[in-house]
């Protein structure tokens, strides 16, 4: 398989990438939105005249915002990244968890799992735009070619594949209990979905809409990441990240993280470090991407670290689920400051990630 | 105003979750519950503080304005146990394990068949952005549902036999609120699970407000000569209003003042009694073990009483049928 740098950013990723020339060249404006694609609360699913992405001048001028999904209190905290202050708290329906940017980058889709909805925000201004009905979206992501929008419905045990353009359901898979995290192969053919209850990683063939394989990776798998022709899956009920052959599904090795309960996995934009958040151990592990050896373990005592995002200064923004805080960590010194947010902060989106398309990106960009 | 308090409770719950619960789940291979374990802890921590706050408020009131003085408080001790089990320990976790699973199964079934259950905020989109107003609406709906659940529990013979455990207490105090038969609690759980499915109850969005409502419910059982005045009694259920419901004359299948937090439903459905008296409480027909037995004795006695009442109900129906038949012939 030929690695495609573009799609290595598919899920929970922050990677430097080059534009995918196989994609159609973006036009300046999206097509007008037909009425049939409007959400039930009057939301236009694609902005009528929204630019495909903010031009660079606008992006440079825009206010850098961090958008934090507070799963435990049905809200989103919008933080001014410069002052480190929460500038507003936007209510959602029930349980905002993870996020994806719309293909034209004009909308931030926030999965509102038990709200059975996608909450839509303007990623530039951090204002709420409305909701769209969707069955239990927990972890969400566009395939690298944007053809499909894949949803892990953790509560209801579905993996739903939607058409990327219309967000109409194409296929529902019932391939295990508690579908957790997901990622894709760079060519968009395969998805990899972790199933917490049977402890498996499942691969779907999105060209034939069939199940390719199910592989037992260990107790309660969670975060998934494609990196250099392999799939890495955090095994939360153990103390390792499983390295899996994407073709056969075979577990090639178990990479210890130095912390208990690895939950989520991220690659930095400069591709120099892989970070793993350890849920039970309450720590963050830095791995060397070349060897997967542990470089350093950052403790966040009794805080439940979860999602991570990297800001333009290279600082890590870490959601601390059990402290109602987001930590901003300087990775060299290991020092961090915290910002109070809502209960159970989960997903993190920094709009600085989208300001320069083709240079810096993040999960599902 | 309450945000620091909320944060304080959540931080305690998070600390217990990370340092105690997660290692246990990890050790036993139950990490699939880790997302919910924080919620369990929140319920237990809020429940624990609710008990402490309730005690801090009600104990002085009962000491200063007692309606009755009892030589022995043995019967009250059992009620303390009910409260602790119900609010802090076993029941919240049991509810999570059982009702969460049932709700998920039913939800999954209906969603898979193309129906996504609505929520108040999706039906009335303008509620979004007004969390307190949203909560008040949810609270009113749930309180109305509780009124009808309670009223029906007095209507059906078998159901009342279970509910009689709650009424059997002759030494009613603020600890008596959670004194219920397990089967009665189970019916209540199913009742609210169905309502939750219909209107999408936000589980832990407003824990402080839920805590406030629980404190009002406990206070309404207090052994304290307290009313909130003419207007206050019509806005929030007072100890006087609820004591009339627990009065000897109101025990059984015809009663009054069924409301839990707000008296509006009793006023609307014409079951309110705002009389100015504090009657003796209890149920003369209930087995003595339901009043003065220990926890297990009360539960067993409740089950036996339920069996007796069901049998009596069947016999009564048979007699009525025979009467009709005789009349026809």
Residue A104: per-residue pLDDT: 87
**Interface mutation vs chain A, best among B28, B102, B121, most A CBs within 10 Å:** B121
Neighbours of B185 (CB within 10 A): 17
H or E element: which one contains A102? none
Per-residue pLDDT of chain B (329 residues; tens, 9 = 90+): 457 888 888 889 999 998 899 999 999 999 988 888 888 888 888 888 989 999 999 999 999 999 999 988 888 999 999 988 887 766 666 666 677 778 788 888 888 888 888 888 888 888 887 888 888 898 899 899 999 999 999 999 999 999 999 999 999 999 999 999 999 988 988 888 788 777 877 766 777 777 888 899 999 999 999 999 999 999 999 999 999 999 999 988 889 999 999 999 999 999 999 999 999 999 999 999 999 999 999 999 999 999 999 999 888 888 888 888 887 66
Cβ-Cβ contacts under 8 Å, B24 against chain A: none
Establish if A86 touches chain B: CB-CB under 8 angstroms.
no
The beta-carbon neighbor of A302 closest among B15, B108, B128 is B15
Positive or negative: CA dihedral A94, B120, A90, A45: positive
Residue A4: per-residue pLDDT: 35
Burial (Cβ within 10 Å: 0-12, 13-18, ≥19) of residue A194: buried
Partner-chain contact B107 A219, CB within 8 Å: no
Which residue on chain B is closest to A132 by alpha carbon?
A: B122
- Read off the tokens for A13: 């990723």
Cβ-Cβ contacts under 8 Å, B11 against chain A: 322-324
> In 3D, which of B57, B239, B54, B209 has the Cα closest to residue B142?
B209
Residue B75: per-residue pLDDT: 84
Partner-chain contact A72 B39, CB within 8 Å: yes
This complex has an ipTM of: 0.79
Domains and CATH numbers, chain A: 5-20+60-269 (2.130.10.10)
Per-residue pLDDT of chain A (365 residues; tens, 9 = 90+): 333 333 333 333 333 222 232 323 323 233 333 333 333 333 433 333 333 344 444 545 568 999 999 998 889 999 999 999 999 999 899 899 999 999 888 899 999 998 899 999 999 999 999 899 999 999 999 999 999 999 999 999 999 999 999 999 999 999 999 999 999 999 999 999 999 998 999 999 999 999 999 999 999 999 999 999 999 999 999 999 999 999 999 999 999 999 899 999 999 988 899 999 999 999 999 999 999 999 999 998 767 899 999 998 999 999 999 889 999 999 999 999 999 999 999 999 999 887 544 332 333 33
Whole-number Å distance between alpha carbons of B169 and B179: 9
Phi and psi at residue B294, to the nearest 5°: -75, -175
The beta-carbon neighbor of A322 closest among B14, B117, B121 is B14
Tokens 């303008």 sit at which residue?
Answer: B126
- Read off the tokens for B106: 């039913």
Which residues are CB-contacts of A265 (< 8 A; sequence separation ≥ 6)? A12, A223, A224, A225, A232, A234, A241, A274, A275, A276
Rg of chain B taking only CA atoms, in angstroms: 21
Is residue A111 within 8 Å of A118, Cβ to Cβ? Answer: yes
Is residue A279 within 8 Å of A300, Cβ to Cβ? Answer: no
Partner-chain contact B116 A116, CB within 8 Å: yes
Give a three-class secondary structure readout of chain B: CCHHHHHHHHHHHHHHHHHHHHHHHHHCCCHHHHHHHHHHHHHHHHHHHHHHHHHHHHHHHHHHCECCCCCCCHHHHHHHHHHHHHHCCHHHHHHHHHHHHHHHHHHHHHHHCCCCCCCHHHHCHHHCCCHHHHHHHHHHHHHHHHHHHHHHHHHCHHHHHHHHHHHCCCCCCHHHHHCCCHHHHHHHHHHHHHHHHHHCCCCCCCHHHHHHHHHHHHHHCCCECCCCHHHHCCCCCCHHHHHHHHEHHHCCCCCCCCCCCCCHHHHHCCCCCCCCCCCCECCCCCCHHHHHCCHHHHHHHHHHHHHHHHHHHHHHHHHHHHHHHHHHC
Task: Let me know how many helices (H) and strands (E) chain A has, helices first.
Answer: 1, 28
Which residue on chain B is closest to A43 by alpha carbon?
A: B125
Separation in Å, CA A22 to CA A6, A301, B139? 10, 45, 54
Whole-number Å distance between alpha carbons of A233 and A227: 11
Is residue A181 within 8 Å of A222, Cβ to Cβ? Answer: yes
Residue B89: per-residue pLDDT: 62
Neighbours of B85 (CB within 10 A): 15
Q: Between residues 314 and 343 of chain A, which touch chain B (CB distance below 8 Å)?
A: 321-324, 340, 343
Which residues are CB-contacts of A298 (< 8 A; sequence separation ≥ 6)? A283, A284, A285, A286, A329, A331, A334, A336
Beta bridge partners of B281: B247
Which residue on chain A is closest to B196 by alpha carbon?
A: A114
Domain layout of chain B by residue ranges: 3-328
- Read off the tokens for B303: 């089950």
Residue B93: per-residue pLDDT: 66
Residue B329: per-residue pLDDT: 60
Q: Between residues 198 and 257 of chain A, which touch chain B (CB distance below 8 Å)?
A: 219-220, 236-237
Residue B326: per-residue pLDDT: 81
């Amino acid at each position: 398989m030929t690695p495609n740098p573009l799609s290595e950013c598919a899920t929970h990723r922050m990677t430097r990438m080059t534009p995918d020339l196989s994609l159609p060249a973006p036009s300046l404006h999206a097509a007008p939105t037909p009425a049939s694609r409007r959400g039930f609360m009057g939301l236009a699913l694609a902005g009528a005249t929204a630019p495909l992405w903010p031009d660079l001048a606008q992006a440079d001028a825009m206010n850098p915002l961090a958008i934090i999904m507070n799963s435990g209190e049905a809200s989103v905290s919008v933080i001014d990244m410069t002052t480190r202050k929460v500038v507003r708290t936007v209510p959602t329906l029930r349980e905002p968890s993870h996020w994806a940017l719309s293909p034209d980058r004009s909308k931030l889709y926030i999965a509102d799992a038990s709200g059975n909805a996608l909450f839509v925000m303007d990623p530039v201004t951090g204002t709420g735009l409305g909701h769209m009905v969707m069955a239990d979206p927990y972890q969400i992501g566009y395939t690298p070619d944007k053809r499909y929008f894949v949803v892990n419905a953790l509560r209801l045990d579905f993996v739903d594949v939607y058409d990327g353009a219309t967000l109409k359901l194409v296929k529902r898979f019932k391939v295990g209990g508690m579908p957790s995290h997901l990622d894709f192969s760079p060519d968009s053919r395969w998805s990899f979905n972790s199933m917490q209850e049977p402890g498996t990683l499942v691969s779907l063939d999105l060209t034939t809409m069939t199940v390719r394989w199910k592989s037992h990776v260990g107790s309660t798998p969670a975060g998934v990441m494609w990196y250099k022709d392999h799939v890495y899956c955090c095994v939360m009920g153990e103390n390792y990240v499983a390295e899996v052959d994407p073709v056969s599904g075979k577990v090639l090795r178990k990479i210890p993280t130095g912390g208990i309960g690895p939950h989520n996995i991220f690659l930095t934009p400069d591709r120099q470090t892989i970070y793993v958040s350890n849920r039970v151990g309450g720590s963050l592990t830095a791995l060397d991407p070349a060897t997967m050896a542990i470089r350093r373990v950052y403790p966040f005592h009794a805080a439940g670290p979860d999602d991570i995002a990297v800001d333009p200064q290279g600082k890590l923004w870490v959601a601390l689920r059990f402290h109602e805080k987001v930590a901003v960590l300087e990775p060299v010194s290991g020092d961090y400051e915290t910002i109070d947010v809502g209960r159970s902060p989960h997903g993190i989106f920094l709009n600085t990630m989208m300001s320069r398309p083709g240079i810096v990106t993040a999960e599902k960009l | 105003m309450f945000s620091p308090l909320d944060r304080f409770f959540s931080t305690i719950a998070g600390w217990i979750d990370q340092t105690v619960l997660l290692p246990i789940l990890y050790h036993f291979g139950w990490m699939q519950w880790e997302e919910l374990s924080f919620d369990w802890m929140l319920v237990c921590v809020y429940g624990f503080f609710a008990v402490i706050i309730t005690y801090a408020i009600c104990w002085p009131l009962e000491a200063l304005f007692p309606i009755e003085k009892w030589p022995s408080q043995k019967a009250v001790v059992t009620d303390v146990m009910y409260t602790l089990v119900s609010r802090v320990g076993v029941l919240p976790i049991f509810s999570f394990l059982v009702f969460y699973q049932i709700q998920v199964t039913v939800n999954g079934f209906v969603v898979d068949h193309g129906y996504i259950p609505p929520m108040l905020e999706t039906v009335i989109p303008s509620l979004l952005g007004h969390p307190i107003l949203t909560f008040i609406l949810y609270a009113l709906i749930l309180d109305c549902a509780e009124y009808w659940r309670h009223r029906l529990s007095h209507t059906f013979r078998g159901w009342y036999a279970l509910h009689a455990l709650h009424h059997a207490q002759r030494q009613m105090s603020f600890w008596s609120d959670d004194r219920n038969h397990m089967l009665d609690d189970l019916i209540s759980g199913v009742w609210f699970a169905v309502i939750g499915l219909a209107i999408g109850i936000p589980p832990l969005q407003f824990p402080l407000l839920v805590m406030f409502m629980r404190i009002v419910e406990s206070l309404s059982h207090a052994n304290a000569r307290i009313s909130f005045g003419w207007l206050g009694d019509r806005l929030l259920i007072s100890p006087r209003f609820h004591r009339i419901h627990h009065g000897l004359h109101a025990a059984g299948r015809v009663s009054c003042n069924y409301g839990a937090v707000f008296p509006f439903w009793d006023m609307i459905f014409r079951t309110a009694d705002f009389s100015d008296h504090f009657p003796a409480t209890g149920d003369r027909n209930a087995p003595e073990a339901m009043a003065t037995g220990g926890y297990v004795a009360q539960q067993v006695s409740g089950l036996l009483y339920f069996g007796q009442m069901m049998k009596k109900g069947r016999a009564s129906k048979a007699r009525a049928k025979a009467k009709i038949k005789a009349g026809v012939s």
